[in-house]
Structure 1
């Protein structure tokens, strides 16, 4: 009898993989409107598309370098300098990825042994936990709570540090809550990492969506000694399906990650790299127009929240609205009722950890006419 690996016993199929298939199989009289997943529905800039077409016709369709094209790494370095005030050596401190999600696996494989401890936010991106468990490392969940503005409790972190964790995942602007971390909190996190000799990984793909103060943890003095950062072009430039991400930090750390990556893929498409390079050189007008669209959509989501009698924070940033249900209401039952009765899909907060119970999350990745239709259905 052929059986699956034991490591899969602690991991389930990704929630959205199952739920979206369920939705696809539903027989309905009206189309289901999804406000669940954060997949941008907007188009990349026209010049980015033109670059993709031109580059794809260049005849350069073979395998590419595992480190990516120098021109793209240079553009990533310039982007970080202009937007975050962070200076990076494009030759040694930037490693392009085929999406930042793969980077979570590559980083974990590069640094974790069986039984190693990993600090993971609760609530947080479920992939941090699933990858940790796939590698048979041990998650140590640290609490993020609304009463603390979804920021870490450093007293709790100090207690968890007694178990000698090796990696700490952070994610600001935070998904799913939209919370941002003040600079002094990032400074505290770097000091914490140095004190306990652990690697902080900041997952940072939402900095430019409805956020006036984009911040990189690498801008903190001494951060490169104990921190690396993941970033992605998916949300900022509307190219989620192209799978363009990056990990940034000290050469020593990136070389370890490259040992894994170079055995897992065969390099990113030449045409996509050229188009990504073009995207990274976007004008300030691009960011302004992008945020104008999301701002208009957000106002309609606020209206939806009011209709559903759920509370939300107007100071939150990013691609989602995180909302608290009235006390005693189960989030999964709530979203299923709306799905089956109104044919609208919203994400339940509990899939992000038990601190997400009683919350729901709305994506801004739906056009105005669809959002207005949701208002009418409700």
Structure 2
């Protein structure tokens, strides 16, 4: 056996990669599993998007290598989207970089800015990829607490008392995954001021702004944000294009160029047809968001009923495509709780612990499940 790289000792296989293999095994045995764990949209992109990619396949040059920076029309449409939806002005020539999903952006940003031994501030609870990528590049995760009592926002005064001399990046995610908490513009201002005082690159991961959220925000809407901030975004959740792998990172020309240095050595450009579909998606009007949220709103009300069956507590003010629910007092292990439901009721729910130690005592339901399936899940209790 050839010895693997030492960096693999710092990470494990992604939770959903392992757990869904287990779930598929149960389904292969004939179990009627209802998967409420993963946030993979089950709805289709718009007809206009599907038509755009279909027609693009026949375009001249569609099957050649594409620009590392994406089509100029795609960058322009991202700029238009940010201006119309967030009131943020970005230069499509040098302040936008399309990505093959925002997840790859987490790796590219980390490779561009983190040296071995540097530290990255990571939310607890938060997206597990922030930790795994930090470890893979040889940097050190430094967790900061997010608690329900503070509406899942960091205590910046407490953080400032810590030794931040080695911190290069701070990962934030608002609307927050997994809790669905939102940040105000004033809170964004405080994050940016914190990053400036401590010479930290702030990265806001922002793929959930338009799901069940009446007030989408971008951290780039704050004056001076580009000095210390990058924002990741994605078409996966907003436009039901998760499998297409289309995302983007926005920020200052210097920061974007640093990420481009990494990206241009990692891939050979996004497929032309996918870019044309993405352009069409970004042109979508309010009707698209209204129809999407009408579906998710009905599903969420049913998930609330399911959470009630389990004696869980949840916040009706949260946004996004998940319901974050606190388990009843006395339940000691979220993972045991969801495993009991998986094997007894054939329903898979995500345990909060995969997002960090502050996720203990919580579970997360995905809204990427049809109404009929959620009703069936309720009936099993």
TM over 0.5, shorter chain: yes
| Deviation of 1:28 (Å) | 4.1
- In the other structure, the counterpart of 1:15 is 15
Q: CA deviation at 1:161?
A: 4.7
Q: Cα deviations across residues 276-301 of structure 1 (Å, max 9, x unaligned)?
A: 00000001100000000000000000
Task: Report the CA distance between 1:30 and its aligned residue.
Answer: 3.6
Cα shift readout 1:244-288 (whole Å, capped 9, x = no counterpart): 000000000010100100010110010000010000000110000
1:343 to 342, 346, 349: 346
Are the equivalent residues in 2 in contact too, given 1:33–1:374 (CA < 8 A)? yes
What are the equivalent positions in structure 2 for 1:76-115 lying under 5 Å apart?
Answer: 76-115=78-117
Secondary structure of the residue aligned to 2:318 is coil
Q: Shift of residue 183 of structure 1?
A: 1.1
For residues 65 and 375 of structure 1, the distance between their equivalents in structure 2, rounded to whole angstroms, comes to 49
**1:364 alignment counterpart:** 367
Aligned-residue Cα RMSD (Å) equals 0.9
Q: How does 1:237-316 map to 2 (within 5 A)?
A: 237-316=239-318
DSSP-derived class of the 1:166 partner = strand
1:13-46 deviations in whole A, cap 9, x for unaligned?
0000000001111254442110001000001000
CA distance in 1, matches of 2:163, 2:173: 19
Give, in angstroms, the shift of residue 238 of structure 1.
0.3
* Aligned equivalent of 1:153: 155
CA distance in 2 between partners of 1:162 and 1:197 (Å): 9
Q: In structure 2, what is the Cα distance between the partners aligned to 1:162 and 1:235? A: 34
Q: Please, which moves more after superposition, 85-94 or 324-333? A: 324-333
Residue-by-residue CA offset, 1:47-71 (whole Å, 9 max, x unaligned): 1101110001224211100000001
Is contact 1:140-1:160 (8 Å) kept?
no
User: Contact between 1:193 and 1:200, CA under 8 Å: does it hold in 2?
Assistant: yes
In structure 1, how many angstroms separate the alpha carbons of the residues matched to 2:145 and 2:335? 21
Report what 2:45 is aligned to. 44
Structure 2: where are the runs of 5+ without partners?
none
CA apart distance, 1:157: 1.5
After superposition, residues 157-306 of structure 1 pair within 5 angstroms as 157-306=159-308
Could you tell me how far 1:357 is from its partner in structure 2? 0.3
Q: Identify the residue that residue 144 of structure 1 maps to in structure 2.
A: 146
Q: Is the 8 A contact 1:328 1:358 kept in 2?
A: no
Distance 2:121 2:164 in 1: 12
Of residues 131, 136, 153, the one that matches 1:134 is 136
Aligned counterparts of 2:30 and 2:70: Cα–Cα separation in 1: 47
For residues 28 and 335 of structure 1, what CA distance do their matches in structure 2 show? Answer: 19
Unaligned 5+ segments in structure 1 are none
Structure 2 residue aligned with 1:373: 376
| Contact kept in structure 2, 1:350 and 1:359, CA below 8 Å | yes
Deviations 1:158-183 (A, max 9, x none): 02353431000000000000000111
TM-score (norm 1): 0.99
SS at match of 2:231: strand
The answer (yes or no) to whether the contact 1:309–1:325 under 8 Å persists in 2 is: yes
Q: Which whole-Å CA distance do the structure 1 matches of 2:137 and 2:95 have between them? A: 26
Per the alignment, in what secondary structure is the counterpart of residue 149 of structure 2?
A: helix
Structure 1 residue 10, shift from structure 2 partner: 1.3
Task: Output one character per residue of 1:180-201: Cα deviation in whole Å (capped at 9) or x when no partner.
Answer: 0111111000000110111000
CA distance in structure 2 between the partners assigned to 1:195 and 1:111 by the alignment = 18
